Amino acid sequence: MIVVQKYGGSSVADTDRVKSVAARAAKARREGNDVVVVVSAMGKSTDQLINQAHDIAPEPPGRELDMLLTAGERISMALLAMAIHEEGHTARSFTGSQAGIITDAVHGKARIIDITPGRIQEALGGGHIVIVAGFQGVSRDSKDVTTLGRGGSDTTAVALAAALDADVCEIYTDVDGVYTADPRICPTARKQDTVSHEEMLELAASGAKVLQVRSVEYARNHRVPVHVRSSFSWADGTLVVPEEDHMEQAIVSGVAHDTGEAKVVVRGVADQPGVASRIFTDLADEAINVDMIVQNVSADGTTDISFTVPKADGNAAMRRIQALATELGFGEVVMDDDIGKVSLVGAGMKTHPGVASGMFEALAEAGVNIEMISTSTIRISVVVREADVPAAVQAVHERFGLGASDTTDAREVTS
């Protein structure tokens, strides 16, 4: 079997953890598998590197920031290789570039466009455990090192598993699977045995950072079997499976939250064709991912447009819009980063009315004010004050009976 194992930051947080990861990889090798290990940077070191960069420059050049951040994963890969040697096995560590992870040239959120895993296959052929630095690649056009966005090691792992036709991609983290809500803020959250690609995509896109959204897209498109599990135990985790293998089709399957976005409000925009297009084309040109968009009903020929963007892109978005001030003649543009998004996800929502009203009722009872709403066929998201996020998650989770001890009929088998 070919096994890809990915270990996140907390799984390699210190040298003892690195040793225990080495023992796990060695065990998989002793069992006769070809083993490829993808590692994240140790503990919170990516955050620390980002802070150091920002101490020097408020908006560091993307090329240099990527150069800096890729160093985090290099440290863990080399230490892990040493620890595996101590376990009596041989290991070869590779940077993303050496491993053949080819990306586009967008710094900070590059997309993998090709994988040329020749060196990995050669090292596996030589009987070595292969270690690959997660979260990074290289652009063929610019020849520069890139990073894949926060949480990107998940995507490195799934993409490598696809390229190597691995039998399983194990994502080792600090929780033992995908829960019905983030167990850190929702004590009654329940671990799920399986979750479908579709649901996992919506959960990840809504902020459940246990898997990076692109890793789920990759797993779905290339049919990679993903097993999310804990590096701190041997318990089975959660399998991320195609729709047809997901037996327990719940009306709602989970609640996700995201406090990584900011709200931008453009006030007093002329209510005429082309204005929204102008604003959002400019943001797209800057590679800013706009999430929720709300346009108010106009009064006196003007309207307000509000949208959310990742906090990290907030300043760039403000700058871009301010540059349009004379052309569009709007009133003012303001940013608010004290917000959080709470989303309810479930494939069964498509056919069950009343889910939205149930969610809004639960929030009202918890005294949480809703500032924005958006929906897809299998998701309802609201923007609330950041401080209200835990209460909102718990209230919605409880309303739909998602908890470990709840037995309401919100989860039912619809085949």
Work out what residue 310 binds among ligand ASP, Mg ion, ligand ADP, none; the CB cut-off runs from 5 to 8 Å by kind: none
Tell me which of 43, 62, 152, 254 binds ligand ASP, using CB under 6 A: 152
From the list ligand ASP, ligand ADP, Mg ion, none, partner contacted by residue 150 (C-beta under 5 to 8 A by kind): ligand ASP
401: left (phi over 0), alpha (psi -120 to 50) or beta: left
CB-based contacts of 273, cutoff 8 Å, min separation 6: none
One of 5, 9, 89, 148 touching ligand ADP (CB under 6 A): 9
Choose between 238 and 306: whose C-beta lies nearer to ligand ADP: 238
Between residues 139 and 215, which has the closer beta carbon with respect to ligand ASP?
Answer: 215
CA dist 308 and 341 (Å) reads 10
The stretch near ligand ADP (CB under 6 A) out of 16-24, 103-111, 169-177, 321-329 is: 169-177
* Contact flags string 15-54 toward ligand ADP, x per CB under 6 A: -------------------------x--------------
Shortest CB 209 distance to Mg ion, Å: 6
Out of 9, 108, 177, 403, the residue judged to bind ligand ASP by CB under 6 A = 9
CB of residue 55 to ligand ASP, shortest distance in Å? 18
Show the site string, 148-167: x = touches ligand ADP by CB under 6 A, - = not. Answer: ---x----------------
Q: Applying CB under 6 A, which of residues 4, 8, 166, 340 lies at the interface with ligand ASP?
A: 8
DSSP β-bridge partners for residue 116: none
Q: Which residue has the tokens 């609330």?
A: 384
214 vs 411 by CB, closer to ligand ASP: 214
Task: Report the alpha-carbon distance of residue 197 to residue 187 in Å, rounded.
Answer: 25
Q: Interacting stretch for ligand ASP, rule CB under 6 A, among 39-47, 125-133, 191-199, 345-353?
A: 39-47
Return the structure tokens found at 337.
């980063």
CA 59/CA 318 separation, integer angstroms: 14
Judged by CB under 6 A, which of 208, 224, 292, 368 binds ligand ADP? 208
The reply on whether position 174 binds ligand ADP by CB under 6 A is: yes
43 binds ligand ASP (CB under 6 A): no
Closer residue to ligand ADP, CB minimum distance, 77 or 321: 77
Q: CA 178, CA 189: separation in Å to the nearest integer? A: 10
How many amino acids of this chain bind ligand ASP (CB under 6 A)?
Answer: 13
209 lies in the site for ligand ADP, by CB under 6 A:
yes
Site for ligand ASP in 80-139 (CB under 6 A): 134-135
Number of residues that bind ligand ADP (CB under 6 A): 19
Does the footprint of ligand ADP cover residue 96 (CB under 6 A)? no
Is residue 321 a contact point for ligand ADP (CB under 6 A)? Answer: no
Quick check: 343 binds ligand ASP (CB under 6 A)? no
Q: Which of residues 46-75 bind ligand ASP (CB under 6 A)?
A: 46, 72
Question: Among Mg ion, ligand ASP, ligand ADP, none, what binds residue 210 when CB lies within 5 to 8 Å by partner kind?
Answer: ligand ADP
Round to whole Å and give the CA distance between 228 and 193. Answer: 10
Place of tokens 């990840």: 204
Site of interaction with ligand ADP (CB under 6 A): 8-11, 40, 151, 173-175, 178-179, 181-184, 208-210, 254
| Residue numbers at the binding site for ligand ASP (CB under 6 A) | 8-9, 40-41, 46, 72, 134-135, 150-154
